Structure formats: C-alpha cells, structure tokens
C-alpha cells in the first residue's frame, strides 16, 4: 500500500502536535549510538571483515596509480615492475573507470577515459593485489609517460572564464544607487579552495554475484549512486545494489559515485573476487571534490536612514571544463536583504585543478560569510551598530521576485541572539584588553535556502513494534534517530520498539543526504506511511484516523482501548511517497539564524582564539534537539575553520595540492573550539512538508565565519578580506594600524 502525496499545498494541520507519544523533538540519544561508541558500527571499508566474514580471505585490495601532470594524454603506462611485486594480480586500465566523482544527484557517470588527464592526481589505473601493502608498493612502480599539447590552466584568477547566462541577474540601476547613496561600499574579498575532509576517507568494496554487483561504499545518496555506477559500468540500474549503512561523514564529498567505486566494481568483475579500494588521505584531498575558491566583490548602497538601496555581488569561481556545477556563491544574496537595485555577476574560470563540487552548504557557506563581512564594513562606515543595520534591512518579501517568505525568522534570531550573548557589552575596537590579548565581538546573519526532495520510506507495524526502511542515509546527521522518533510518535511506540534500516538500495528510494533535504523529505514520507497505517488501525477500531490515539502500544478511540499487540495480528505495512509539488513554487523558503562570536587577538603574534560563540537558529520543527544541536555545533565549527585556518593550496606550477593532508590542511581541533552555545527558535513552517520541518545540517556554517572575522575587527581594528585570517595577515594589519 502506497500513501502518495504531491506537496501542492502547505500542510497547516500540524498533525505531529496532535500525537500522544511525545517523543518527536525530545533530545533522545542516537538510536545507532551504542554501535558507534563501541566500534561495532560497520563502515564501508569494514564490510569485508565484519558483514561478510566467510569471504574475507578472498578480498583483494586496489590502489590507484595517479597522474603527476595536470593536463595531457597518457602516452604509455609501463606496469612490468609493478606486476612483478609478489601478490600483485592486475594493473587495471579500463575505459569504464572514471576521472573524478559525480556531482550530487547526477544520476549518470562522471567523465570516463583515464588516458585523458585533466587534473593532477587523477586516477589512471588500479593496481590490484592480495594485500593492501603489496598494492600500495606496486602502484608506485608504474611508470607513466605523458604527451602534452596545451598549457594547463592552474591559476583560477587568470584562467579563461565563462559567464553562464542563467546565473547573472540585474534589476534597477545599481550604479545610480551607488552614486546617490549616503554611504557606499565597494570591496573585494577572497576565499581559498577548501576540503570537506570527512574523517572517513572514500572507500568501496565490490563483489559480483552473476551479473549483479553489490557495492559497499561511503556514499551519501545511494539510490542516485546506484544509477551513476550502473551508467559507468554500462549495466541496468537494477543490477546494482549499494549499501551504506554507516558513513564516516560526508559534507558533500560523498554525494556522487567516485573513482574508487567504479574501479572496485570493474576489478571485482575482471578478477572474479571481491575488491576493496580505499583512498589514502592525500588522495582524498586530490580526488574528492573541493569547494571552489572564490573571488568576490560586494558593492552596497545605503541611504541616510540606513536602508539598503543597492546590492551588487560578483563572484568568480572555478571548475574543470564541462562541469555544470559552479559554487552558487550568491544563492542567498538574492533574497536576504532589501534593496531595489541589485546586480549579480557569476563567472566560472575553467581550470585544471581537482573537480569542484558541493561542500557543506555550497553557495551560502562562502557567499553569506563574505556578504556578512561586507555588511560589517558598511555598518562601520555608516556609524551603525551591525545588528541594527541588519534589522533595518529585512525585506517583507523576496526582493527580486516579490514571492512571500514561508517564514522569516531573521529579526527574531538576531534580537534573541543579541540578548543571550550580551551584544550590548560590545565596545569600540581596541577597548577591551587582557594582557597582550585584545577582545572583540562580531555577529552575522545565518541564512540557507531550504529544499525538499522526493522520498520513499516503508513502515511496517507488527505486534512487537515497527520497522522503518529506506535507502536514505545517515551520515552523522541523525536520520536513524529522527525517523525512529517520527514513527514512534505517529504509531504510539516507545522509540526502542522502532527499528530503522537505512542505506540499502534494495529498500524504497529515499532522498539521500545532501542539501539539508533529508529530515523534512524522508520524514514526510515516513509520516505518510504512518498515517496510512493509522487509517487502517482506525478502521479496525471503528473511528476516523483523526480521532485515534496511539500511545505506549495501545490504541484508543473514544472510550475503547486495545493493545496494538492484539490488534495487529498481521503486519501492517505502508510505503510513504513524498514528492515536492506546487506548494513551494510561489514562495521563498529558507532557514534563518544569527551568529555571535567573541574572539581574542594576540597583539604581538596576530593569533586569534575564539572565546565563545552563539548560534540561534530557526528551521521549522526541531525533530531531535540533541542531534540538531550537534549539527549546528558542527556547522559553526566549520565556520571557525573557514575564518581562521582552512586553506587548500595548489602549486601554481604543477597544479598539485600542497596542503594535502591533515598536518597541512588545518581543520579545527579540540583546543580551537570553546564551549559553543546553540539555541533554537521553534516554529512550524507549513511549507516544510508534512512535519513543518526544515533542514538544519548546513545552516550553522552559513555566516559563522563572518561572525569570527567581524569580531577580529572589533577586537583590534584589522579587516582581513582574504580568508583565512591566519596570524601573518592579522599581524600585517596590526602593523599597518601602527599597533
């Protein structure tokens, strides 16, 4: 039985609020938590040893041979020496292998043909051996000669570029607004390439049974990934099964099928044995999608009342030739603030560097951050409190399309955050000091577009409890737990009576994890399935579904109560199928928030330490306060990284990633992160599917880095416009100020 809903109308029923179990929203522990803290959760590279022990001895290991030039053709690939290494079975070159990962939701193979090199570090062949150690050794012994006819484009600032027509927009007359403005700003900024750097490197284990391949991999969107893999292999999607029950973080880097998956599948086919391919951390930095560097120019016009009359936001990003993805830097600039005269320019440079793709909150992560830094500068020029500047410029409706907002919580988040944080204690730059440390506060708005995606979830109720099944994944986001809670709520069960099974393409097709779509989309599908089951129970009880109360395993209609265990003699099963429809067409849907940070800047060394940070967030119904909070902590910390340390450096001569490991690419460590505070503004957004919920996984990173950068200025008067604000840049600023 399928309960299908095309989401054409907002759902104002708030049905979850009418349920009796009272588990949705509660900060319950993660349902898969005991497995994770005890080391029993099985990740991709472990399936061979754990899930599948009888075949363990058969498993082979693959290691990539990779390009040492950024552009060219492979003239020859000599594998004799490699093949002579004991244990080596094959040096695989195959037209089906792929050059880089697929973009999120591609549903088709990324470019194939490895003889064409388009970036440094691109896979060229796969060495397969009986042991990981032998494969690794042999991969270094393969000798590759290249032919090069053209110069590689290694400098994103200089490379030839395109202006994709759909990504430009203008209204009114920005130049005139700037001329007439009481206060204006024209400033250029930059952010470097960044890495998702999930702690689990990409990994794939493949084996074949007849013409059917099973892939255990670390992927965020397994149903889409199965189609991508099938396309790469040239087989029917039905012949591919992908399993990703546990994923060690994604942040966008595992959205699409990646070279290791295709290579493992092809090698397993060729050799007739299971093959595992894992990326070393250095390969991870060079092969997995990077977040594009950006060059940004922000122009702002403000009238005498502190109201924005003009907004210009230009961005230059980069990617490989032919890739349609380009970091959507200005995604939120379109609608966050008022102003009649607006101009967006979006330029894409074509380079021979690691493929650029989605990394946590593509667009807003860097776009909102820079824009919020610019607003801080404008506020200073105008002599306005930065908080006040934002409050004066919140639009009534989408300023470009006049569409109404489904909910707009920015003002509330800003005010609430300012109160909690003690924003009124903020002083002028240089006024707060502790020894050689200067203290300052900064703030920024948080905004992230909200999306829904089609999703299917099956729920089966038996006398013992419920089972929830979908190909949806949990990449640390809390999906196991929130789906468990939703079903427990709807069916009146204790959460430990609900078992959620995810990450298997044999199950109904979930949305996958990406773009913060997971909770609302799959949650809505689970809701629909439960609603159908409730209807069936209500029919048995002889009342309408709305009058049925399910709680603690008992069904109540009017004055009649029965145990579910005795009522449900045959399993009741329903598949919820949620599809976004017309509801979201005429509106602007977004999540909102505010960031506040206090930093200390060392006057002598230029070092910046984050002292405290607060995020206030509104994302519709919060499904689990504990896991939602953790998502926000994670996002805010990504912001600290972006502001202070993360920088993927490419060698401008050869195109290789210089900071290609965790010793050189710095991500925040324990000592970099104080006790961050998160607060939610609960709301019900009727456009957030049947749960009135929106995504929370990316909001925390949108703008948090700006709060840190703005706090640096408030501490010591230094504006850093080129991220990250490493000590050398802060010091240079301090020297320029004569400090």
Partner 1 sequence: MKTTLTINGEPREIEAEARVTLLDALRHEIGLTGTKKGCDHGQCGACTVIVDGRRINSCLTLLCTQEGAEVVTVEGLGEPGRLSALQEAFLAQDGFQCGYCTPGQICSATAMIEEAAKGWPSWVSESLEGEAVLSREEISERMSGNLCRCACYPNIVDAIAKVAEARMAEAAE
Q: Can you give the binding site for ligand FES, defined by CB under 6 A?
A: 199, 249, 476
Distance of CA 587 to the CA centre of its chain: 23
The entry of partner 1, ligand FES, none that residue 737 binds, CB within 5 to 8 Å by partner kind = none
Contact 227, 256 (CB under 8 A): no
Distance CA 637, CA 645 (A): 11
Among 4, 12, 13, 56, binds partner 1 (CB under 8 A): 56
Give how far Cα 120 sits from Cα of 10, 491, 642, Å: 48, 53, 24
Give min distance, CB of 246 to ligand FES, in A: 11
DSSP state of 189: E
Indicate whether 674 belongs to the interface with partner 1 (CB under 8 A).
Answer: yes
* Choice between 43 and 421, CB closer to ligand FES: 43
* Choice between 33 and 727, CB closer to ligand FES: 33
* Choice between 199 and 494, CB closer to ligand FES: 199
Among 23, 24, 45, 715, binds partner 1 (CB under 8 A): 45
Give min distance, CB of 609 to ligand FES, in A: 22
DSSP state of 362: T
* Choice between 284 and 504, CB closer to ligand FES: 284
Give min distance, CB of 688 to partner 1, in A: 22
Distance CA 280, CA 201 (A): 7
* DSSP per-residue string spanning 588-606: B-EEEEEEEEEEEEETTT-
Whether the ω angle into residue 724 lies within 30 degrees of 0, i.e. cis, is yes
Among 499, 673, 726, 727, binds partner 1 (CB under 8 A): 673
Give min distance, CB of 201 to ligand FES, in A: 10
Contact 365, 641 (CB under 8 A): no
Give min distance, CB of 638 to ligand FES, in A: 12
Distance CA 213, CA 48 (A): 15
Indicate whether 133 belongs to the interface with partner 1 (CB under 8 A).
Answer: yes
Give how far Cα 350 sits from Cα of 292, 357, 636, Å: 11, 14, 31
Distance CA 426, CA 442 (A): 9
The entry of partner 1, ligand FES, none that residue 246 binds, CB within 5 to 8 Å by partner kind = partner 1
The entry of partner 1, ligand FES, none that residue 668 binds, CB within 5 to 8 Å by partner kind = partner 1
Residue nearest to ligand FES (CB): 199
Question: Count of residues binding partner 1 (CB under 8 A)?
Answer: 64
DSSP-assigned beta bridge partners for residue 205:
216, 276
Indicate whether 43 belongs to the interface with partner 1 (CB under 8 A).
Answer: yes
The entry of ligand FES, partner 1, none that residue 434 binds, CB within 5 to 8 Å by partner kind = none
Give min distance, CB of 476 to ligand FES, in A: 5
Residues in contact with partner 1, shown as a per-residue x/- string from 177 to 196 under the rule CB under 8 A: -------------------x
Among 10, 49, 182, 719, binds partner 1 (CB under 8 A): 49
The entry of partner 1, ligand FES, none that residue 45 binds, CB within 5 to 8 Å by partner kind = partner 1
* Choice between 587 and 667, CB closer to ligand FES: 667
Indicate whether 671 belongs to the interface with partner 1 (CB under 8 A).
Answer: yes
Give how far Cα 388 sits from Cα of 154, 233, 364, 439, Å: 42, 56, 22, 21
Q: Where are the alpha helices (DSSP H) in 342-496?
A: 364-382, 386-391, 410-421, 479-491
Contacts (CB under 8 A) with partner 1, residues 242-271: 246-251
The entry of ligand FES, partner 1, none that residue 511 binds, CB within 5 to 8 Å by partner kind = none
* Choice between 190 and 282, CB closer to ligand FES: 282
The entry of ligand FES, partner 1, none that residue 50 binds, CB within 5 to 8 Å by partner kind = partner 1
Query: Which long-range contacts does 410-415 make (Cβ < 8 Å, 24+ apart)?
Result: 410/336, 410/445, 410/447, 410/592, 410/593, 410/594, 412/618, 412/681, 413/445, 413/446, 413/592, 413/593, 413/594, 413/616, 413/617, 413/618, 413/681, 414/387, 414/390, 414/443, 414/445, 414/594, 414/616, 415/391
Q: 47 is written with which tokens?
A: 């399936």
* Choice between 375 and 632, CB closer to partner 1: 632
Contact 344, 334 (CB under 8 A): yes
Indicate whether 501 belongs to the interface with partner 1 (CB under 8 A).
Answer: no
Is beta strand 437-449 parallel, antiparallel or unpaired with respect to 590-602? Answer: antiparallel
Estimate the crossing angle of helix 704-716 against helix 364-382, to 10 degrees: 30
Give min distance, CB of 78 to partner 1, in A: 24
* Choice between 476 and 641, CB closer to ligand FES: 476
Q: 566 is written with which tokens?
A: 């005795």
Indicate whether 434 belongs to the interface with partner 1 (CB under 8 A).
Answer: no
Indicate whether 675 belongs to the interface with partner 1 (CB under 8 A).
Answer: yes
Is beta strand 554-557 parallel, antiparallel or unpaired with respect to 548-551? Answer: antiparallel
Residues in contact with partner 1, shown as a per-residue x/- string from 454 to 493 under the rule CB under 8 A: ---------------------xxxx---------------
The entry of ligand FES, partner 1, none that residue 304 binds, CB within 5 to 8 Å by partner kind = none
Residue 261 burial by CB count (10 A; 0-12/13-18/19+): exposed, middle or buried?
buried
Closest by CA to 9, choosing from 633, 649, 586, is 586
* Choice between 156 and 248, CB closer to ligand FES: 248
* Choice between 426 and 595, CB closer to partner 1: 595
* Choice between 136 and 350, CB closer to ligand FES: 136
Q: 493 is written with which tokens?
A: 């069960």
The entry of ligand FES, partner 1, none that residue 661 binds, CB within 5 to 8 Å by partner kind = partner 1
Q: What is the dihedral of CA 461, 463, 464, 468, to 10 degrees?
A: 0
Indicate whether 199 belongs to the interface with partner 1 (CB under 8 A).
Answer: yes
DSSP-assigned beta bridge partners for residue 588:
405
Contacts (CB under 8 A) with partner 1, residues 610-669: 626-627, 629-631, 633-634, 636-638, 661-663, 667-669
Residue 739 has a CB neighbour count (10 Å cut-off) of 15
The entry of partner 1, ligand FES, none that residue 638 binds, CB within 5 to 8 Å by partner kind = partner 1
Among 10, 26, 46, 68, binds partner 1 (CB under 8 A): 46
Q: Quick check: helix, strand or coil at residue 300?
A: strand
Is beta strand 590-602 parallel, antiparallel or unpaired with respect to 60-66? Answer: unpaired
Give min distance, CB of 222 to ligand FES, in A: 19
Distance of CA 453 to the CA centre of its chain: 15
Indicate whether 280 belongs to the interface with partner 1 (CB under 8 A).
Answer: yes
Candidates 131-139, 333-341, 443-451, 707-715; binding stretch for partner 1 (CB under 8 A)? 131-139
Q: Please report the beta strands in 293-371, taking only residues with DSSP state E, as ranges in sequence order.
A: 294-302, 308-319, 341-350
Q: Give the gyration radius of the chain's Cα atoms.
A: 27
Give min distance, CB of 248 to partner 1, in A: 3
The entry of ligand FES, partner 1, none that residue 631 binds, CB within 5 to 8 Å by partner kind = partner 1
Query: Phi and psi (nearest 5°) for 195?
Result: -115, 145
Query: Tokens 């070092």 identify what position?
Result: 607
Active site residue ranges:
698
* Choice between 377 and 646, CB closer to partner 1: 646
Distance CA 91, CA 270 (A): 11
Residues that bind partner 1 (CB under 8 A): 29-30, 32-43, 45-46, 49-50, 53, 56, 131-133, 196-201, 246-251, 278, 280-281, 475-478, 626-627, 629-631, 633-634, 636-638, 661-663, 667-671, 673-676
């Amino acid at each position: 039985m399928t309960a299908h809903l095309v989401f054409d109308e907002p759902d104002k029923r708030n049905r979850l609020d009418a349920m009796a179990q009272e588990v949705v929203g509660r900060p319950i522990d993660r349902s898969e938590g005991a497995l994770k803290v005890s080391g029993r959760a099985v990740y991709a590279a472990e399936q061979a040893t754990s899930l599948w022990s009888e075949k363990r001895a058969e498993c082979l290991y693959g290691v990539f041979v990779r390009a040492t030039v950024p552009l060219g053709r492979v003239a020859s690939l000599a594998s004799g020496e490699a093949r002579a290494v004991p244990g080596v079975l094959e040096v695989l070159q195959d037209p089906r292998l792929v050059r880089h990962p697929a973009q999120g939701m591609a549903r088709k193979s990324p470019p194939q043909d490895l003889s064409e090199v388009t970036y440094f570090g691109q896979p060229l062949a796969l060495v397969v051996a009986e042991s990981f150690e032998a494969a690794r050794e042999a991969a270094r012994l393969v000798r590759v000669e290249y032919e090069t006819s053209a110069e590689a484009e290694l400098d994103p600032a200089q490379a030839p570029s395109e202006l994709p027509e759909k990504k430009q927009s203008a209204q009114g007359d920005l130049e005139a607004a700037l001329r007439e403005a009481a206060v204006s700003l024209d400033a250029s900024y930059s952010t470097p390439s960044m890495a998702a750097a999930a702690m689990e490197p990409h990994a794939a284990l493949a084996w074949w049974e007849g013409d059917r391949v099973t892939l255990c991999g670390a992927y965020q969107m397994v149903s889409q990934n199965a189609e991508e893999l099938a396309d790469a292999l040239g087989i029917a999607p039905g012949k591919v099964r992908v399993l990703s029950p546990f994923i060690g973080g994604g942040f966008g880097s595992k959205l699409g099928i990646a070279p290791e998956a295709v290579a493992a599948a092809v090698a397993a086919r060729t050799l007739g044995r299971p093959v595992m391919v894992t990326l070393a951390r250095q390969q991870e930095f060079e092969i997995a999608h990077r977040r594009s560097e950006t060059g940004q120019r922000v122009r702002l016009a403000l009238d005498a009342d502190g109201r924005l009359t003009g907004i210009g936001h230009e961005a230059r990003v980069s990617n490989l030739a032919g890739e349609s993805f380009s970091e959507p830097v200005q995604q939120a600039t379109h609608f966050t603030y008022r102003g009649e005269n607006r101009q967006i320019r979006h330029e894409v440079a074509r380079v021979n560097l690691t493929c650029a793709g989605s990394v946590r909150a593509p667009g807003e992560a860097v776009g909102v951050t820079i824009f919020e830094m610019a607003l801080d500068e404008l506020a200073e020029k105008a002599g306005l409190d930065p908080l006040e500047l934002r409050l004066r410029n919140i639009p009534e409706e989408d300023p470009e399309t006049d569409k109404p907002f489904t909910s707009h919580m920015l003002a509330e988040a800003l005010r609430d955050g300012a109160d909690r944080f003690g924003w009124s204690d903020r002083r002028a730059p240089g006024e707060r000091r502790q020894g050689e440390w200067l203290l300052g506060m900064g703030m920024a708005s948080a905004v992230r577009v909200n999306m829904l995606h089609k999703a299917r979830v099956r729920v089966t109720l038996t006398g013992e409890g419920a089972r929830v099944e979908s190909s949806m994944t949990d990449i640390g986001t809390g999906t196991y737990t929130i789906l468990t809670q939703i079903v427990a709520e709807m069916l009146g069960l204790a959460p430990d009576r609900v078992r959620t099974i995810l990450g298997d393409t044999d199950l109904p097709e979930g949305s996958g994890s990406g773009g913060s779509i997971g909770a609302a989309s799959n949650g809505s599908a689970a809701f629909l399935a439960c609603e159908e089951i409730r209807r069936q129970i209500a029919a048995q009880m002889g009342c309408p579904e709305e009058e049925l109360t399910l709680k603690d395993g008992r069904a109540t209609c009017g004055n009649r109560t029965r145990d579910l265990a005795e009522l449900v003699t045959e399993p009741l099963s329903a598949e919820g199928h949620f599809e976004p429809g017309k509801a979201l067409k005429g509106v602007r849907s977004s999540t909102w928030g505010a960031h506040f940070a206090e930093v200390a800047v060392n006057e002598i060394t230029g070092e910046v330490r984050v002292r405290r940070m607060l995020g206030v967030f509104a994302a519709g119904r919060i499904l689990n306060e504990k896991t939602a909070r953790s998502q926000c902590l994670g996002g805010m910390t990504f912001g600290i990284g972006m502001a202070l340390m993360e920088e993927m450096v490419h060698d401008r001569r050869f195109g290789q990633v210089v900071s290609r490991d965790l010793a050189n690419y710095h991500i925040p460590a324990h000592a970099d992160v104080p006790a961050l505070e998160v607060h939610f503004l609960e709301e019900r957004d009727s456009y957030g599917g049947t749960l009135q919920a929106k995504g929370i996984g990316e909001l925390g990173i949108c703008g948090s880095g700006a709060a840190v950068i703005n706090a640096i200025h408030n501490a010591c008067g230094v504006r850093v416009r080129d991220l990250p604000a490493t000590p050398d840049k802060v010091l240079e600023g301090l020297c320029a100020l004569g400090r």
